[in-house]
Every structure is written in C-alpha cells, then in structure tokens.
C-alpha cells in the first residue's frame, strides 16, 4: 500500500512510522518546513518513547519519507490520511475543522487515481460527509471515497497502542475503500485485533463517546476522592474495591488534579456542543467538563491551604508540568492552571520536568527551571507533585527534605505512601487519602 499522511504531529507521525513498519510505503507531509527538516535530519520533533528508533529503522529501509510537498505525496497514493489538529474553536467550544477541510481540499487537487481519503483526526459527527462534499466541490471528477478511522493511541505509549490496539474502528461505506482499509491493517490480523466496520457517523461518534466515557470515569473518581477526604475514606482502596468488578474495571480510576492533555478537554467540550446543536444534550458530559475545569483551580487552592493559607513569599517546587508522564505535551495540562494561580497568590515557583521545559518555558512565564527534583526543591517550603514521572516516584526523601526550607509535600498523583513520606519527616497531603 502507498500511504500519504497529512500532518506529522503526535498522531500523524506515530501513525506514519507504524504504517511503514507494517511494510507500507509512507510519505509524511507537514506544512511546517522546520518540522520536515528535523525529520529529514533524523530528529523527532516530539518526545515519544521508542519513536526515534522505529522511525530510523523504516527510513533506512526506504519505506518512510518526509516532505512539505503534499501534491507529490498524494500522487499515486492508495490512501491519504488526514491527521491534522482539531483544536477547540475560539469562542464556542466546537472543534475547529478548518485544518481538516483545508487539507481535504488540497488533497482533492492532488489526486491522480483512486484513493481513500481517511480522516484520522478526531472530528464531530458529520465531518466525513462534509469532507466528501468539499472534495467534490473542488474536483467534481475526483476518484475517491472517504473513510473515518479515528485514532485511540495514548501519548507516552503511542507505538504500543498503535501496534497492539484494543480495536480498530473504520467507518466506510464503499467496498473498494473498505478493501484498501483491510489491506492497510492486515498486519494486525496476526494479533487478532478486532476490526469494527461501521458507517461514517458511527465511527465519528465512537471516538467522542470513548473519550467522554474515560473522562467521566476520571471525574467520577475525583469527586469520590473529595468525599473520601471529608469522611475519612481512602480513594485508592475505594477504586480498587470498585475496579475489581469486571463491569467497572480498574483503569482510569486514579484520583488526581483533573484530566488535561490534547484530547479529553477539547473532545468532551466539542461533544457537548455537537449534542446541544442536535437537541440531544449529554448532560453528564456537560457536568464532567464543568467539574474538571473547577478541579484544576481547586488544586491550586489545595496547595495554598496546605501551605497554611498563604504562599506570599514562599517557594513552591513543582514536580512535573506535562499533562502526563512520558510526553512533552503541555496542552491543557493542569499545571497551566495551577502554576499561574500559585504565582498570582505571591509564591515563588521552581519547576522540574524531564521533558516539559521546551514547551513549558513560554507557557509558564515567571517560574525558574531546575534540572531535577532536588534542585527545584532547594530552599522550597513545599514540593508539589503534578505529574507522575517515574523519576519522581522514587525520590530520596532524606535528601529532598535536607534541600528544603519547609518540609511539606503535596502529592496530587498519590504516588507515595503516606506513612513513608511522614516517616521521612514531611507533612504530607495527597488526594482522597487520610
């Protein structure tokens, strides 16, 4: 199969690299020349474990190339994947589809023979039919069919998720296009990956429903954690007791500072907007969005309260600013709400994050950056863990305490056992635990 991948962000680049590893010929396109220059120089513009090695292997095998020339990439392709961003549209919370439609129109002009135009970006229901219309408007004779192939990978575990997905969802209503999609994903047959073929609309809804459900699970356990704090329960014990019920499952039941990242916040919001527009409001997700937004602000308050209600003149060391570990992605990270609130309340903030600095430097003005947790904690009154990077899980608490002025740890990811931290002489505050 010959594949053109439009957009080389977190999803496009991982998908392009993995498809080439399946044995397909892949040309990845981006309109950012500096990104393509980096890729052509063998550098990976994002931090994603294992991506550099897999990319180098497939470039060396001659199956993977990078270009800014969309026309050349699309010519002769069996499938053209659109993997551009669909951020929140300013003002109304809908998904901004301008990048998707612009890419589709460019693709229309570049088609040379039959190709499937596959939307991999997360797009609201109805978008694939609109893509079809717009392609036909640009080129009424265009030889193509559309397919919806939403992506479920997680940043930080993206390659494994792509290579061993729980399922692949394909919305397709044209036999020839379905055949192309079957051929592209054939290597996953070996692993007996379930392939879910549906209509375009169902595929589009599946993606939003799945993300909204996971976001709901997180928000649910966060509110249970709040209750535990009031009544003396332990949310980790509660989550375990709940999660062992197979109908519930233990995943996504970790209480924390609220979900962030490039998907859940924008997708939950976009789903509520789509549903309202169709007069079928999803009130449970509307509430999830509200509760999660408020939670990020509450977490700043939690830190301030732990510091004795005043942080003016105090130094707070923040461990982790990316929205989760093993990524450099800062989009909608809780840190973007919490850190400015602490600075606004008068705190001096130092930050350590293994990969977050490049993105974080312009997003978090006014903080000082440290090389590691101990440097960040020097003379600090409080250490607050916002992201559960592995290197923060096994800190030498004696060394940490010695570096600090005060001895307070606020662990918003519950990565430490309260007795261990308290035995090391710290005041310790976590989420939903005594």
- Separation between Cα atoms, residue 408 and residue 106, nearest integer Å: 55
Q: 3, 6, 125, 341: which one contacts ligand NAD (CB under 6 A)?
A: 6
Q: Which CB, 32 or 196, lies closer to ligand NAD?
A: 32
- Separation between Cα atoms, residue 39 and residue 22, nearest integer Å: 20
Stretch near ligand NAD under the rule CB under 6 A, chosen from 149-157, 250-258, 338-346, 423-431: 149-157
**In the complex, what is the shortest distance from the CB of residue 274 to ligand NAD, in angstroms, rounded to a whole number?**
14
Q: 10, 22, 66, 264: which one contacts ligand NAD (CB under 6 A)?
A: 10
Stretch near ligand NAD under the rule CB under 6 A, chosen from 4-12, 124-132, 296-304, 332-340: 4-12
382 noted as active-site residue? no
Q: Total residues at the site for ligand NAD (CB under 6 A)?
A: 28
Locate 234 and state its tokens.
């332990």
CB atoms < 10 A from the CB of 223, how many?
Answer: 16
Binding status of residue 205 toward ligand NAD by CB under 6 A: no
Q: Annotate 210-220 with b (16+ C-beta within 10 A) or e (fewer).
A: bbbebbbbbbb
**In the complex, what is the shortest distance from the CB of residue 233 to ligand NAD, in angstroms, rounded to a whole number?**
33
Residue by residue, DSSP assigns 284-333 as: HHHHHHHHHHHHHHHHHHHHHHHTTS--TT-EEEEE--SSSTT----TT-
Binding status of residue 84 toward ligand NAD by CB under 6 A: yes
Q: Taking the CA of residue 297 as centre, how many other CA atoms within 13 Å lie in the half-sphere pointing to its CB?
A: 4
Q: 23, 32, 112, 390: which one contacts ligand NAD (CB under 6 A)?
A: 32
Report the residue number whose CB is nearest to ligand NAD. 9
Phi, psi of 168 (to 5 degrees): -120, 130
Site for ligand NAD in 263-282 (CB under 6 A): 263
Phi, psi of 95 (to 5 degrees): -70, 135
Q: Which CB, 103 or 410, lies closer to ligand NAD?
A: 103
Q: Which CB, 83 or 180, lies closer to ligand NAD?
A: 83
**In the complex, what is the shortest distance from the CB of residue 332 to ligand NAD, in angstroms, rounded to a whole number?**
11
Binding status of residue 58 toward ligand NAD by CB under 6 A: no
Candidate list 18, 28, 263, 307, residue with the active-site label:
263
Q: 4, 9, 162, 300: which one contacts ligand NAD (CB under 6 A)?
A: 9
Binding status of residue 97 toward ligand NAD by CB under 6 A: no
Q: Taking the CA of residue 413 as centre, how many other CA atoms within 13 Å lie in the half-sphere pointing to its CB?
A: 22
- Separation between Cα atoms, residue 227 and residue 239, nearest integer Å: 13
Catalytic residue list: 263
- Using CB under 6 A as the criterion, which residues of the chain lie in contact with ligand NAD when the complex forms? 6-12, 29-32, 35, 70, 83-86, 99, 102-103, 106, 121-122, 151, 153, 155, 262-263
């Amino acid at each position: 199969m010959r594949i053109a991948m439009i957009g080389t962000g977190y999803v496009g680049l991982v998908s392009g690299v993995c498809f080439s590893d399946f044995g397909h010929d892949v040309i990845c396109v981006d309109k950012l020349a500096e990104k393509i220059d980096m890729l052509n120089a063998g550098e990976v513009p994002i931090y994603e474990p294992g991506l550099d090695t897999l990319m180098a292997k497939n470039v060396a095998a001659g199956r993977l190339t990078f270009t800014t020339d969309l026309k050349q990439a699309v010519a002769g392709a069996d499938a053209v994947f659109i993997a551009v961003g669909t951020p929140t549209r300013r003002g109304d919370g809908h998904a901004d589809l301008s990048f998707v439609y612009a890419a589709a129109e460019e693709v229309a002009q570049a088609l040379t023979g039959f190709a499937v135009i596959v939307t991999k970006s997360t797009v609201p229901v109805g978008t694939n039919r609109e893509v079809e219309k717009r392609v036909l408007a640009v080129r009424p004779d265009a030889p193509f069919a559309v397919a919806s192939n939403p992506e479920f990978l997680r940043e930080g575990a993206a390659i494994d998720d792509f290579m061993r997905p729980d399922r692949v969802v394909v919305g397709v209503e044209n036999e020839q296009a379905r055949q192309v999609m079957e051929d592209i994903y054939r290597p996953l047959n070996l692993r007996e990956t379930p392939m879910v073929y549906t209509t375009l609309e169902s595929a589009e809804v599946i993606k939003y429903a799945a993300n909204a459900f996971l976001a709901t699970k997180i928000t649910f356990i966060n509110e249970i954690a709040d209750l535990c704090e009031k009544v003396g329960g332990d949310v980790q014990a509660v989550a375990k007791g709940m999660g062992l019920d197979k109908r519930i499952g233990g995943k996504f039941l970790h209480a924390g500072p609220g979900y962030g990242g490039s998907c859940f916040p924008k997708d939950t919001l976009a789903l509520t907007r789509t549903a309202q527009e169709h007069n079928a409001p999803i009130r449970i997700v509307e509430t999830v969005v509200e509760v999660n937004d408020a939670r990020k602000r509450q977490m700043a308050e939690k830190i301030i309260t732990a510091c004795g209600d005043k942080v003016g003149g105090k130094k707070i060391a923040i461990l982790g600013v990316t929205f989760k570990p093993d990524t450099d992605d800062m989009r909608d990270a809780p840190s973007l709400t919490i850190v400015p609130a602490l600075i606004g309340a008068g705190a001096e903030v130092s930050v350590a994050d293994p990969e977050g600095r490049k993105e974080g430097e312009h997003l978090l003005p006014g903080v000082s950056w440290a090389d590691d947790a101990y440097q960040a904690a020097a003379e600090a009154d409080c250490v607050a863990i916002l992201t559960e990077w592995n290197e923060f899980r096994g800190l030498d608490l004696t060394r940490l305490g010695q570096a600090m002025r005060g001895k307070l740890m606020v662990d918003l990811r519950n990565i430490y056992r309260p007795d261990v931290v308290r035995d090391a002489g710290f005041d310790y505050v976590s989420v939903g635990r005594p």
